[in-house]
Amino acid sequence: MSGPLAGVRVVELVAQGPAPFACMLLADLGAEVIGIERPGTQRHAPDAHSRGRRSVALDLKQDAGREVLLDLLADADVLVEGFRPGVTERLGVGPQECHARNPALVYARMTGWGQDGPLAQRAGHDINYLALTGALAAIGEPGRAPVPPLNLAADYGGGGMLLALGILAALHERTASGLGQVVDTAMVDGVGLMLAPFHAMAARGQWRERGTNLLDGGAPFYRVYRTSDDRWLSVGAIEPAFYRAFLDVLGLDPVSLGEQLDREAWPAATARIADVVATRTRAEWEQAFAGVDACVQAVLELAEVPEHAHVRARGGFTDVHGTPHPAPAPRLSRTPAQRPDPAEPLGASTVAVLAALGRTPEQVHALCASGAAGVPAEREPGTGVLA
């Protein structure tokens, strides 16, 4: 293992969404991540979030499977779980049991609503957490329904990113105290943090109906425009110098559009700009703005991104068994992240991990035969070799 987190062992009770994303980030940065999955689980197709970790199949509802997990945690640095509050306690692997086995363990929890509160036990998804925080109400066109911004904001930004940060903070604190702690990460908390500047704007009376504000598409200099070939051009020319450069390439007189920050002038200015942008293709506008500092960028489709010159120059994607994956980030100069490994088959590391914990081949066979542990279907239980 290489990278700044080399030597850190993370045990993940595999769930969905933000917790696997956080574990992907840790694995990319060099942590050893061991994913615990139930034998016979019907997986989603492996994706980028599955990369970089080993797979061990354990049934935690069986005493023998639970004991293997606790033995594994005795020498681990972090446990990550993304279930509803109380699930791991009912399984007998809650913070109390795990800290009894390893007081230095960082017990990291990922939920949508948090570990407590009136909604703690309610089901939810990204769109619901955005709804409660006010983020969803702020995204979209005026007079129309709010627009869900994929599941990036709550799941991965407010959830997975914050979870990874909390884990690193707890690991850092442990260097002084020698003790682990529980990290309670909730997507509603994370989205709330990201909304801090917008709450401040609203408190000052500077936030109006969605789609009419400076940063939500209301301003003619901060929105997207359709090109003649039905593609899109993004414009973020907030600063006056960039706005002037933008209008200069379009051949528009700034005076004729009114003052840049005059909200009353925005609708007419937007219509004028849209008419001009619609006269050329996206590629023609890319050429026109090449080398011009106007904060203008073509809107790329997902399939176009890996081949873009800037992305290629920075090595923004890496090949993982024939599939393009976004490369690990951030980039560190002295301890760079490693190239990610593909996802393992379910239970591919069960035998190796059990052996490292001191289980004999006979014990491994018995665990697999009872269903407390599992290996890939083509592997002979207890031997670690292909059948």
CATH code, domain with 367: 3.40.50.10540
Would you place residue 323 in the very low, low, confident or very high pLDDT band (cuts 50, 70, 90)? confident
Assess if residue 206 is contained within a domain: no
For 152-185, what is each residue's pLDDT tens digit? 999 999 999 999 999 999 999 999 999 999 999 9
- Asked if residue 155 and residue 49 are part of one domain, the reply reads yes
Catalytic residue chosen out of the listed positions 28, 126, 155, 189: 155
- Asked if residue 311 and residue 174 are part of one domain, the reply reads no
351 in Cβ contact with 383 (< 8 Å): yes
- Asked if residue 72 and residue 21 are part of one domain, the reply reads yes
What separation in angstroms does the CA of 268 have from each of 239, 261, 340, 370? 20, 13, 50, 72
- Note the pLDDT of residue 46: 64
- Asked if residue 279 and residue 239 are part of one domain, the reply reads yes
- Note the pLDDT of residue 40: 86
Assess if residue 269 is contained within a domain: yes
* 155 tagged catalytic: yes
Boundary residue ending a domain (287, 315, 343): 315
Evaluated on CA atoms 299, 159, 341, 61, the torsion sign reads: negative
Q: Is pLDDT of 380 > 90? A: no
| Structural domain boundaries enclosing 296 | 222-315
Assess if residue 215 is contained within a domain: no
Q: Is pLDDT of 211 > 90? A: yes
CATH number of the domain that residue 227 is part of: 3.30.1540.10
Could you tell me whether strands 9-13 and 32-37 are parallel, antiparallel, or unpaired per DSSP bridges? parallel
| Domains held by the chain: number | 2
24 in Cβ contact with 92 (< 8 Å): no
For 61-115, what is each residue's pLDDT tens digit? 999 999 999 999 999 999 999 999 999 999 999 999 999 999 999 999 999 999 9
- Note the pLDDT of residue 101: 97
- Asked if residue 52 and residue 129 are part of one domain, the reply reads yes
- Asked if residue 132 and residue 279 are part of one domain, the reply reads no
Boundary residue ending a domain (290, 315, 340): 315
Assess if residue 90 is contained within a domain: yes
- Distance (Å, rounded) from C-alpha 34 to C-alpha 12? 6
Give pTM, 2 decimals: 0.93
Catalytic residue chosen out of the listed positions 125, 184, 308, 365: 125
- Asked if residue 322 and residue 307 are part of one domain, the reply reads no
Assess if residue 213 is contained within a domain: no
Average pLDDT over residues 120-147: 96
Average model confidence (pLDDT) across the chain = 94
- Distance (Å, rounded) from C-alpha 111 to C-alpha 365? 35
* 125 tagged catalytic: yes
Q: In the chain, at which residue ranges do the beta strands (DSSP E only) sit?
A: 9-13, 32-37, 53-58, 78-81, 106-111, 182-186, 222-226, 232-236, 296-298, 317-320, 323-326, 373-374
Would you place residue 379 in the very low, low, confident or very high pLDDT band (cuts 50, 70, 90)? low
